[in-house]
Amino acid sequence: MPRQTPASRLPERQRRALRRSVVLIAVALMLTGCTSISSSSAKPAASDAKAAKAGGTLEVALSAEPDALDPTLARTLVGRTVFTSICEKLYDVDNKLNIVPQLAASLPQFSSDGLTVTIKLRSGVKFADGTTMDATAVKTSLDRDMRLSGSARASELSSVGSVAATDPSTVTIKLKQPFTPLTAILADRSGMVMSPTALKSEGDANFGAHPVCVGPFKFADRVAQDHIDVVKDPNYYDASKVLLDKIQYKIIADSTTRFNNLKSGDVQVLDAVAPTDVAALKADSKLDLLSSDSLGYQGITINLGNVDGVGKPGKPLPASLASPLSADARVRQAFEMSIDRDAINKVVFRGLYSPACGPISPASPFSTPAAQVCPKFDPAGAKALLAQAGVATPVKVSMIIGNTPAAATLGEAIQAEVKEGGFDLRLDPTEFAASLDQTDAGKYQSFQIGWSGRVDPDGNIANFVSTLGSQNNDGYSNSTVDSLLEQARSQADVSARGNLYAQVITQLNKDVPIIYLYRQKNFTGVARTIVGVQVYGDGLLRFKTAGFAA
Amino acid sequence: MGRYVLRRLAESVVTFVLVTIVVFAGVRALPGDPARALAGEESDPTTLAQIRKSFGLDEPIPVQYLHYVENALRGDLGRSSRTGLPVATTIREALPVTLQLALFAIVIAGLIGLIAGVVAAVRRRTVAEWAANAVALFGLSVPSFWLGLMAILVFAIAYPVLPASGFVSVFADPVQSFRHLVMPAVVLGSGLAAVIMRQTRSAMIEAMGADYIRTARAKGLGGAQVIIGHALRNSLIVVTTIVGLQLGALISGAVVTEQIFVLPGFGKLTIDAVFTRDYPMIQGVVLVTATAYIGVNLLVDLLYSVIDPRVRVGGGAL
């Protein structure tokens, strides 16, 4: 059975030419050092370990404008990249995605009933304004995260009952129910400690315009839609390791313009290199490409019973949306079997990404062989399954996709593939904000959407598939999955939790509420004059030890 | 006179109120919930409700409007729902960027257009006219995003003499400002330069055939004096009118140029605000634009009445 891609709609001669060029591109990629990409998967990516000198201003191109630089309110991924310079957290991840202490002195201690968490803090740490970072500051920050109106942290901290400063270097957290993913949550924005003095003087509304935390750099200046400047912080506890005087984050939304700025030397680091620019970047002798596997995924969410909106109990879809796809798990399995993930990766993404079959990245310490099981590509099997389910073919299905050219290419590839499996897929290109509205409200059959990924698998699974989960916009509900996810939240042991998630994924493979398609890679372009830039699996750029080559 | 002024003022206020209502309602009619756009990935019903509350989006639209007007009258345009920064400050920072870019583009377009137009008119049916026409055709037909990208490829990457992006204010560092703005200004001004060239050329051709030019030559004036002092001076009236009419087009054209050269100007601000459903910012941008338009129109009307008293008499009779 030939692979069906968008190419299937081309005349045979062009199809052959296209296939030839795909092969050529693949060979070329292999010859031109594709190994540097694949070898870095799941490993830290850092620019060369050559000697670096102190001083200088590093210019970094960001792909979007960060939102408020207020750890309580911030929601964007680019915002997190800026925070790595100015706001350290209680915990961080290392290059293998293990959680390690940052402002805390050690990993948190969970009591035997899982309801009390004790956190010991690093001593002698000062905020950028010179005041001392202590347990009271941690309590002030966590209380603000939980209570401030519009807080983006409130829901991830919903398991926390109260926070107490037991002594200047000890924080005790009481939980409403056992919740071990808290450690990972404190390794993100909820774990950032804000200066209580600055919170008081700036007020809640203005703190994001002049954030003060603990970090190798401190906030200096921001001009909306242009740049954010941070400068070396002499108060930082590890200031001797910091080389750069200043970092200027420039906001350049267009990927071509961003890449041109890196080539021209106007910026030295480029966040989010487009897959289309990867080959050109690797061919440039003045530039390096860093890459790391994303913790997130891209996939297709299928509406099984979201009729009244997210957070409302699922029920059968109305006649206008009902289809065998929502009614019968075998039809969804058939849909998944008709998708050739490898072909999508090769044709749409030039083989740069990796096929994904589940919500946990293989790079995660929580991954198990069972979590990576992949339903096989088998369009003939799909047709047989549809016959077994007794549905008339082709099964008509609609899918909301983005309104960008890249989203259209992906949508058309899926459309061509599932046709072979017995599906007639209609694509509905929709502007992003409008598509979220529509799918939250349950007005869709299927939706091509992804998730940027979290270090703890709970953040990549629970909200999406647990009954009434906060991001469960497919209306899926399965008591076995709910109970396994609940158990995993009260387990501290990584391998025990990994096994529970494997069982969840096995069940999801049967029910297919989400078809996982591929996992992106974080590509970062760095000028060869710069050393010590680090990119881990969380996709954030770390500049603490970066500098200009000596 | 007093009555006329009052009437025009009252009309302007009504126009202004209507504009704000249309924008307020129009922005809210866009598909896409601003709270959802703001929440990004981390959305759940509780968070969305909190965001709506903190931006007052949970109130009925007429109440939201009244709050907005009340704050705007006190000079508070609110905070951007995207960046959390005050809208007024952001607009204040963005406006000078677009104004400097537009002014620079006019100067460059004027220089290129006038010189090419004069050459084409004076050296008719020569290589010079052909070249000037070719430049004009190029400027008119090449889209600015393509020209911008090519300029960056040549002058910032292949021969790195100019920066590829960014903005430096002319008041902060004139030299750096020039280096940052020259490429965007040429790109933005290329279309206008072509229009000016063609207008100058036809006006000059007409002027060169006029009686007063023959008289000037008969008086023994030199070629340059005739061309610049007499023919060009008279042709400039037409050209100036055209530049005035093209100014609006120039500022809207700046939207594209600002995107390509990453200039933090008014156009880019507007586009970004629409895509992120940043209601306070869209409203602020439209408010400033409407104020400028209504203000200028009012001023022009009042000036007309001073220059030509028939306007206010006629107006009064209506």
pLDDT of chain A along its 550 residues, tens only?
333 333 333 444 444 444 444 444 433 433 333 333 333 333 345 565 568 899 999 999 998 888 889 999 988 888 999 999 999 999 999 988 899 999 999 999 999 999 999 999 999 999 999 999 999 999 999 999 999 987 889 888 999 999 999 999 999 999 999 999 999 999 999 999 999 999 999 999 899 999 999 999 999 999 888 899 999 999 999 999 999 999 999 998 888 889 999 999 999 999 989 888 899 999 999 999 998 888 999 999 999 999 998 888 989 999 999 999 999 999 999 999 999 999 999 999 989 999 999 999 998 999 999 999 998 899 999 999 999 999 998 999 999 998 888 899 999 999 999 999 999 999 999 887 788 888 988 999 999 999 988 899 999 999 899 998 888 989 999 999 999 999 999 988 999 999 999 999 999 999 999 999 999 998 999 999 999 999 888 889 999 999 999 8
Nearest to B83 among A68, A310, A440 (CB): A68
Minimum distance, in Å, between the CA of residue B31 and any CA atom of chain A:
5
Element (H, E) at B182: helix B174-208
Q: Smallest Cβ distance to B160: which of A251, A264, A431?
A: A264
- With beta carbons less than 8 A apart as the criterion, state whether A433 and B279 touch: no
Q: Are the Cβ atoms of A226 and B31 closer than 8 angstroms?
A: no
Beta strands A514-519; A354-355: pairing state: antiparallel
Contacts for B54 with CB less than 8 Å, ≥ 6 apart: A149, A150
Query: What ipTM does the predicted assembly reach?
Result: 0.74
Sign of the CA dihedral with B303 first, then B307, B309, and B311 last: negative
Q: What letter represents residue A439's amino acid? A: T
Find chain A residues with C-beta within 8 A of B46's C-beta. Answer: 154-155, 470
The number of beta carbons lying within 10 Å of the beta carbon of residue A485 is 22
CB pair distance less than 8 Å for A266 and B43? no
- Whose CA is closest to A448, among A384, A401, A504? A401
Q: 192-231 in B: which are within 8 Å (CB) of A? A: none
Helix (H) or strand (E) holding B179: helix B174-208
Q: How far is A161 from chain B (nearest CA, A)?
A: 17
d(CA A164, CA A171): 6
Sign of the CA dihedral with A321 first, then A322, A327, and A331 last: negative
d(CA A380, CA A386): 10
- pTM of the entire predicted model: 0.80
Of the candidates B34, B84, B262, the beta carbon closest to that of A257 is on B262
Rounded CA-CA distance A118/A120 in Å is 7
Residues in chain B with CB shorter than 8 Å from the CB of A431 are 31-32
Question: What is the number of H-type helices and E-type strands within chain B?
Answer: 14, 0
Q: Inter-chain contact B45–A223, Cβ cutoff 8 Å? A: no
Angle in degrees, 0-180, between the axes of helices B279-307 and B2-29, rounded to the nearest 10: 160
- Chain A: residue nearest B269 by CA? A225
> Least CB-CB distance to A155: which of B40, B47, B85?
B47
Across the interface, which of B31, B41, B47 has its CB nearest the CB of A452? B41
Strands A160-167 and A116-120: unpaired
- Out of B37, B42, B157, the one facing A433 most closely (by C-beta) is B37
Are B32 and A223 in contact (CB < 8 Å)? no
Chain A residues closer than 8 Å to B53 by CB: 149-150
Q: Whole-angstrom Cα distance, residue B243 to residue B146?
A: 24
Whether A260 sits inside 8 A of B164 (CB atoms) is yes
Dist CA B121 CA B99 (whole Å): 32
* Contact between chains at B44 and A463 (C-beta distance less than 8 A): yes
Touching A: B residues 69-88, CB under 8 Å: 79-80, 82-85
Written in H, E and C, the secondary structure of B54-102 is HCCCCCCHHHHHHHHHHHHHCCCCCECCCCCCEHHHHHHHHHHHHHHHH
Query: Considering only CB atoms, which chain A residues are within 8 Å of B50?
Result: 149-151, 154
The alpha-carbon gap from A364 to the nearest alpha carbon of chain B, in Å, equals 21
Contacting residues of A for B164, CB less than 8 Å apart: 257, 260-261, 264, 266
CB A542 within 8 A of CB A87: no
